[in-house]
Structure 1
């Protein structure tokens, strides 16, 4: 028997508990393979023999004053092409996503999205086998508390 998939709107509130982000608006982007998180400053460092990164971000839409700092283990560096066709090497981290009562690991690339409306993109890999998208709807899922 196939499990029912939760329907998401084109934008939703999500939580990233490992990064101590209780809620952040995400654009649900079926055109993006990997999810992406805004970071205006990145500082790689070593912790217990592993590569980690300190991340500074502006978590709130239309607000470049409020800052949040967090850390994550680097799992990769990849060449990523944005919607404008520009290619850049980005750090990739794995973190927990909380959405629609589910918690599961996702990969996030890190890049400066100050000029973009949404601080996070939720890509296809994170949605695979869990969600379907209604592109005419918004905020179908309750905001994480």
Structure 2
């Protein structure tokens, strides 16, 4: 197995299946699953399968909310950091970070006033990355034209 790549506690990543070129992510080893904070979501059926249509704010300066849709692979109960339990839809999508691309399960949730639209949880990190909690953006600066975090 190759050596794990170092990450800071926050990084930029992309979600190409959703058309998201850059999203600010908090690398959260305390969270089991990864979460994408959506502004709005609506479930619908297509060819007998459940899908979800949603809108997200990527945290990219000057870029408005981005619409996206994905197939729902599961619905699970998730406990947030405040101990609140909610049922959330999970999607499977590609993540790109530090020159690596892989599929990961991501749950969709709406939380107000989030500084990071994406939480990258330990299941998606396992075996790929080591996290340095004293560092930020070890895998590159913000996208062109973005203000400092």
TM-score, normalised with respect to structure 1: 0.92
- Give yes or no for contact 1:61–1:118 (8 Å, CA) kept in 2: no
Unaligned runs of 5+ in 2: 145-149
Structure 1 gaps of 5+ residues are none
Q: Does structure 1 conserve the Cα–Cα contact (< 8 Å) formed by 2:55 and 2:66? A: yes
- What secondary structure is seen at the aligned counterpart in 1 of 2:95? strand
Counterpart in the other structure of 1:43:
42
What secondary structure sits across from 1:39 in the alignment? Answer: strand
Residues paired across the two proteins, number: 143
1:90-123 Cα deviation digits (max 9, x unpaired): 1110100000111100011111133221111000
Task: Please say if residues 61 and 119 of structure 1, whose CA atoms lie closer than 8 Å, have aligned partners that are also in contact.
Answer: no
List, as ranges, runs of 4+ consecutive aligned residues in structure 1 with deviation greater than 6 Å: none
Aligned to 1:26: 25
Question: TM-score, length-normalised on structure 2?
Answer: 0.90
Q: Which residue of 1 is the match for residue 127 of structure 2?
A: 129
Residues 84/132 of structure 1: CA separation in 2 closer, same or farther (3 Å cut)? same
Q: Determine whether 1:69 maps to 2:82.
A: no
